[in-house]
Amino acid sequence: MFPLLTSARHVKDHALRLQFADGAEGEIDLLPELDGEIFLPLRELDYFKRFRLDPEIHTIVWPNGADFAPEFLYAKITVPA
C-alpha cells in the first residue's frame, strides 16, 4: 500500500506533524535528514516553513524541488526509534 499524506503542519524548528489517509499520524524532526545540496536551503528555518503538500505525489515539497518520499515519512512516524 502506498501511504497517502493528507495533512502536514509545522510544529517547531524543523519538526512537522503529519497525518496519512489510513489515520497514522505523528511528528517528525527533519533536521537530521537535511543533507545534500537539494536539502541545504531547508536548514534555514524560514525556507523550511515554505513547504506545501503536493496533492499529486502525496508528500511535502519545497519551492526548490526538494521533497521526501511519503514511504520514508510514514516509516519515520510509525516505527519507534
pTM more than 0.75: yes
Average predicted confidence (pLDDT) for the chain: 94
pLDDT at 11: 96
Angle (nearest 5°) at CA 80 between 26 and 10: 25
b vs e for 25-48, b when ≥16 Cβ sit within 10 Å of the residue's Cβ?
eeebebeeebeeeebebbeeeeeb
Q: How many helices (H) and strands (E) does the chain have?
A: 2, 5
What residue ranges define each of the domains in the chain, with the CATH number in brackets?
Answer: 5-78 (3.30.2020.10)
At 43, list the grid cell: 536548514
Whether 36 shows a pLDDT value over 80: the answer reads: yes
Is a pLDDT exceeding 60 seen at residue 9? yes
| Local confidence band at 78 (pLDDT 50, 70, 90 cut-offs) | low
pLDDT band at 2 (very low <50, low <70, confident <90, very high): confident
